[in-house]
Structure 1
Amino acid sequence: MIVGVGIDVVDVARFSATLEATPRLTERLFAGSERDLPPHSLAGRFAAKEALAKALGAPVGLHWTDAIVVKDAVGKPSWQLQGSVRARADELGIRSLHLSISHDAGIASAVVVAES
């Protein structure tokens, strides 16, 4: 059963400019394994994290670094959850998360479907 769906879009240039203007923001938004990625990948991961928060009901207290986007051998994205995000997913009975990330025309987008 679908528990939640989230979608988000991010303007890559605007997001990159924000990260450059506020360097510590990268540490607040991304886990160590994500921080050295190119700007379009960071924008896609941020869109994914926003979409995940929406799929989880956007509760207060989620930590962005507790949701890490990982890729398998063929490049399919998925989640590594811990801490506050893992606790919320468990609270909702979520057993499966589906993630799609796309980039086009300077926009990064992501969709998340959460299932019990």
Structure 2
Amino acid sequence: MRIGADLLYVGELDRLLARPWFRAYVYAESELATTAGFGPDRCREFLAGRFAAKEAVAKAIGTGFAGGVTPRQIAVERADSGAALVMLTGAAAVRAAALGVVDVQVSITHKADLVLAVALAVLTRRRA
């Protein structure tokens, strides 16, 4: 098992979220579509949480955003149960497969102006 975590202030991304190129680079279409019916405050909180989750997952798979792994390749969807569901594509999926990752779980929590995300990458085999 591998772990990653990220903590940020919700407002840290305000200037970047105002830029369409940033949203397109960081968020999957499905994540942006989810925010379509949100008011500004809920949208800001949701996207900050997703950003923290992407950072936590990138740490859990051992790359950060390097080696071709980009934030958009880590999508955090919502399962029918309401739980966060991580979907990897591109270089993020390749890196995870090379590590033997069979599942990635993430938890996102908000308190006041803080958001915390923790990710666990579950491996098929023990690493030496």
Whether TM exceeds 0.5 here: the answer is yes
**Structure 2 unaligned residues grouped into runs of 5+:** 36-42, 124-128
Which segments of structure 1 move beyond 6 Å, counting only runs of 4 or more?
A: none
The whole-number CA distance in structure 2 between the counterparts of 1:68 and 1:87 is: 15
Further displaced range: 55-64 or 99-108: 55-64
1:114 to 117, 121, 127: 121
Counterpart for residue 56 of structure 2 = 51
> Does 1:40 pair with 2:45?
yes
Query: Paired residues, what number?
Result: 113
The whole-number CA distance in structure 2 between the counterparts of 1:27 and 1:108 is: 21
Counterpart for residue 20 of structure 2 = 23
C-alpha contact 1:16 1:43 (8 A) present in aligned 2: no
The whole-number CA distance in structure 2 between the counterparts of 1:35 and 1:98 is: 21
The whole-number CA distance in structure 1 between the counterparts of 2:4 and 2:67 is: 16
The whole-number CA distance in structure 2 between the counterparts of 1:82 and 1:65 is: 8
**Structure 1 unaligned residues grouped into runs of 5+:** none
Counterpart for residue 40 of structure 2 = none
Superposition map of 1:1-116 within 5 A: 2=1, 4-20=2-18, 22-36=19-33, 37=35, 38-58=43-63, 59-116=66-123
> What amino acid maps onto 1:16 in structure 2?
D
> What amino acid maps onto 1:15 in structure 2?
L
TM-score (norm 1): 0.90
> What amino acid maps onto 1:51 in structure 2?
A
Percent identity over paired residues: 34
Higher fraction of helix: 2
RMSD: 1.3
The whole-number CA distance in structure 1 between the counterparts of 2:89 and 2:12 is: 29
Give the Å deviation of 1:60.
2.3
Give the Å deviation of 1:90.
0.3
